Chain A
Amino acid sequence: MPGLGTSFGRGGATTFVQDLVNSDCILIEGSNFAECHPVAFRFVMEAKERGAKIIHVDPRFTRTSAVADVYAPIRSGSDIVFLGALINWLLENERYFREYVVAFTNASYIVREDFQDTEDLDGMFSGFIDPDDTTADGQDRSKYASFGNDAAKPVPGNYDTSSWQFETDEVPRYDGNGTVKVPKRDDTLQHPRCVINVMRRHFARYTAEMVEEACGTPRETFLEIANLLADNSGRERTTAFAYAVGWTQHTVGVQYIRTASILQLLLGNIGRPGGGIMALRGHANIQGATDIPTLYDSMPGYLPMPSALRNEQTLADYLKSVTKPTGWWANTPKYVVSLLKAYYGDHATKDNDFAFDYLPQISGDHSTLPTQIAMKDGEIKAYFVIGMNPAASGFNAELARAAMDKLEWMVNIDAYETESASFWRREGVDPTTIGTEVFFLPSSTILEKEGTMVNTNRLLQWHDKAVHAPGDTRSDLYLFHQLGLRLKALYADSTDPKDRPIQAMTWDYPHEDPHEHDLGEPSARKVLMEVNGYRVEPGKPGYDCPQVTAFTELADDGSTAAGGWIYSGVYPDKQTNRARNRTGDEWTSLDWGFAWPANRRMLYNRASADPDGKPWSDRKTYMQWDEQQKKWTGPDIPDFPATKSPHEPAKPGASGVDAHSGANPFIMQLDGMGALFVNGALKDGPLPAHYEPMESVVGNPLYGQQSNPTLREWDRDDNPYNGRENPDYPYVLTTYRLTEQSGIMTRYVPWLAELQPSLFAEIDPDLAVEKSIRNGDWVTIATALGQIEARALVSGRMKPLRIGKGKDRRLIHQIGVPYNYGSLGYATGDSIGTLIPLALDPNVSIHEAKTLSCTIRVGRRTSGPNARVDEPVPANQVSDWGASRPHGRDEAPV
Chain B
Amino acid sequence: MASGFFTDTTLCIGCKACEVACKQWNELPADGYAFTGDSYDNTGALGGTTWRHVAFIESTPDAPGAPPTMNRWVMMSDVCKHCTNAGCMEACPTGAIIRNEFDDVFIQPDVCNGCGYCVPSCPFGVVDLIDHQVIQPRFASDGRTDDNAVQTHGGVAGKCTLCYDRQKVGLVPACAKACPTDSIQFGDVDELKDRARKRVADLQSRGVDASLYGVDEKTSVGDLNAFFLLTGPPAAYNLPERPVLPSTRQPAGYVSAALAVTGLALIGLALFRRESA
List residues of A whose CB falls within 8 A of some B CB.
34-35, 38-39, 41-42, 45, 61, 63-67, 70-73, 218, 221, 417, 422, 739-740, 748, 750-758, 760, 766, 775-776, 791-797, 799, 802, 824-827
Which of B20, B35, B69, B181 is the one whose CB lies under 8 Å from A752? B20
Interface string of B168-182 (1 = CB under 8 A from A): 000000000000111
Measured between beta carbons, the chain B residues less than 8 angstroms from A740 are 16
B242 contacts partner chain A, Cβ-Cβ < 8 Å: no
Closest 8 CB pairs of A and B: A796-B60, A776-B37, A750-B30, A757-B33, A66-B73, A758-B35, A754-B30, A38-B15
- A45–B180 CA distance with the chains assembled, in angstroms: 10
- Centre residue among A72, A218, A754 by max chain B CB count within 10 A: A754
Q: List 10 A-B contacts (CB under 8 A).
A: A35-B13, A63-B15, A63-B40, A65-B71, A66-B71, A748-B139, A755-B43, A756-B42, A758-B33, A799-B66
Task: Tell me if B's interface is mostly helix, strand, loop or mixed.
Answer: loop
- Centre residue among B11, B30, B35, B145 by max chain A CB count within 10 A: B35
- A291–B222 CA distance with the chains assembled, in angstroms: 58
Quick one: closest A residue to B135, CB to CB?
A750
B61 contacts partner chain A, Cβ-Cβ < 8 Å: yes
B251 contacts partner chain A, Cβ-Cβ < 8 Å: no
- A776–B72 CA distance with the chains assembled, in angstroms: 21
Task: Tell me how many residue pairs across A and B have CB atoms closer than 8 Å.
Answer: 133
Task: Tell me if A's interface is mostly helix, strand, loop or mixed.
Answer: mixed
Measured between beta carbons, the chain A residues less than 8 angstroms from B143 are 417, 422, 748, 824-825
Q: Judge whether A73 and B13 touch: CB under 8 Å.
A: no
- Centre residue among A61, A417, A755, A760 by max chain B CB count within 10 A: A755
Q: Judge whether B69 and A218 touch: CB under 8 Å.
A: yes
Measured between beta carbons, the chain B residues less than 8 angstroms from A797 are 58, 60, 68, 71, 73
From residue 57 to 76 of chain B, which have CB atoms closer than 8 A to chain A? 58, 60-62, 64-69, 71-75
Interface string of B26-40 (1 = CB under 8 A from A): 000111111111011
Q: In angstroms, how far is the closest chain A Cβ from the Cβ of B29?
A: 7
B187 contacts partner chain A, Cβ-Cβ < 8 Å: no
Q: Judge whether B13 and A67 touch: CB under 8 Å.
A: yes
Quick one: closest B residue to A746, CB to CB?
B20
- A703–B67 CA distance with the chains assembled, in angstroms: 28
Which of A64, A802, A826 is the one whose CB lies under 8 Å from B145? A826
Quick one: closest A residue to B41, CB to CB?
A755
Q: Judge whether B37 and A754 touch: CB under 8 Å.
A: no
Q: Judge whether A42 and B37 touch: CB under 8 Å.
A: no
Add 8 more A-B contacts to A753-B30, A754-B32 (CB < 8 A).
Answer: A45-B13, A61-B71, A66-B73, A218-B67, A739-B16, A756-B40, A758-B35, A799-B68
Q: Judge whether A795 and B60 touch: CB under 8 Å.
A: yes
Measured between beta carbons, the chain A residues less than 8 angstroms from B60 are 61, 795-797, 799
Quick one: closest B residue to A218, CB to CB?
B67
Q: Judge whether B69 and A72 touch: CB under 8 Å.
A: yes
Measured between beta carbons, the chain B residues less than 8 angstroms from A794 are 37
Which of A41, A72, A417, A755 is the one whose CB lies under 8 Å from B42? A755
Q: Judge whether A826 and B33 touch: CB under 8 Å.
A: yes
- A827–B73 CA distance with the chains assembled, in angstroms: 25
- A775–B68 CA distance with the chains assembled, in angstroms: 19
B137 contacts partner chain A, Cβ-Cβ < 8 Å: yes
Measured between beta carbons, the chain B residues less than 8 angstroms from A756 are 40, 42
Q: In angstroms, how far is the closest chain B Cβ from the Cβ of A456?
A: 15
Measured between beta carbons, the chain B residues less than 8 angstroms from A70 are 69
Q: In angstroms, how far is the closest chain B Cβ from the Cβ of A265?
A: 29
Quick one: closest B residue to A72, CB to CB?
B69
Q: Judge whether B64 and A34 touch: CB under 8 Å.
A: no
Quick one: closest A residue to B144, CB to CB?
A824
Quick one: closest B residue to A419, CB to CB?
B143
Q: Judge whether A766 and B64 touch: CB under 8 Å.
A: yes
Q: Judge whether B39 and A63 touch: CB under 8 Å.
A: no
- A815–B36 CA distance with the chains assembled, in angstroms: 19
B19 contacts partner chain A, Cβ-Cβ < 8 Å: yes
Measured between beta carbons, the chain A residues less than 8 angstroms from B39 are 793, 795
- Centre residue among B11, B17, B62, B69 by max chain A CB count within 10 A: B69
Evaluate whether A795 and B58 lie within 8 angstroms (CB atoms) in the complex, with A218-B69, A752-B20 already known: yes
Measured between beta carbons, the chain B residues less than 8 angstroms from A63 are 13-15, 40, 73, 75
Quick one: closest A residue to B138, CB to CB?
A750
Q: In angstroms, how far is the closest chain A Cβ from the Cβ of B195?
A: 13
Q: Judge whether A776 and B13 touch: CB under 8 Å.
A: no
Q: In angstroms, how far is the closest chain A Cβ from the Cβ of B51?
A: 12
Q: Judge whether B30 and A71 touch: CB under 8 Å.
A: no
Evaluate whether A755 and B74 lie within 8 angstroms (CB atoms) in the complex, with A71-B68, A73-B69, A776-B35 already known: no
Q: Judge whether A793 and B37 touch: CB under 8 Å.
A: yes
Q: In angstroms, how far is the closest chain B Cβ from the Cβ of A734?
A: 14
Evaluate whether A66 and B15 lie within 8 angstroms (CB atoms) in the complex, with A754-B31, A754-B33 already known: no
Quick one: closest B residue to A829, CB to CB?
B35
Q: Judge whether A34 and B13 touch: CB under 8 Å.
A: yes
Measured between beta carbons, the chain A residues less than 8 angstroms from B36 are 776
Measured between beta carbons, the chain B residues less than 8 angstroms from A793 are 37, 39
Q: In angstroms, how far is the closest chain B Cβ from the Cβ of A810?
A: 13
Measured between beta carbons, the chain A residues less than 8 angstroms from B19 are 751, 755
Q: Judge whether A796 and B71 touch: CB under 8 Å.
A: yes
- A35–B12 CA distance with the chains assembled, in angstroms: 11
Quick one: closest B residue to A796, CB to CB?
B60
Measured between beta carbons, the chain A residues less than 8 angstroms from B32 are 754, 757
- A70–B68 CA distance with the chains assembled, in angstroms: 11
Quick one: closest A residue to B65, CB to CB?
A802
- Centre residue among A70, A72, A417, A796 by max chain B CB count within 10 A: A796
Quick one: closest B residue to A62, CB to CB?
B73
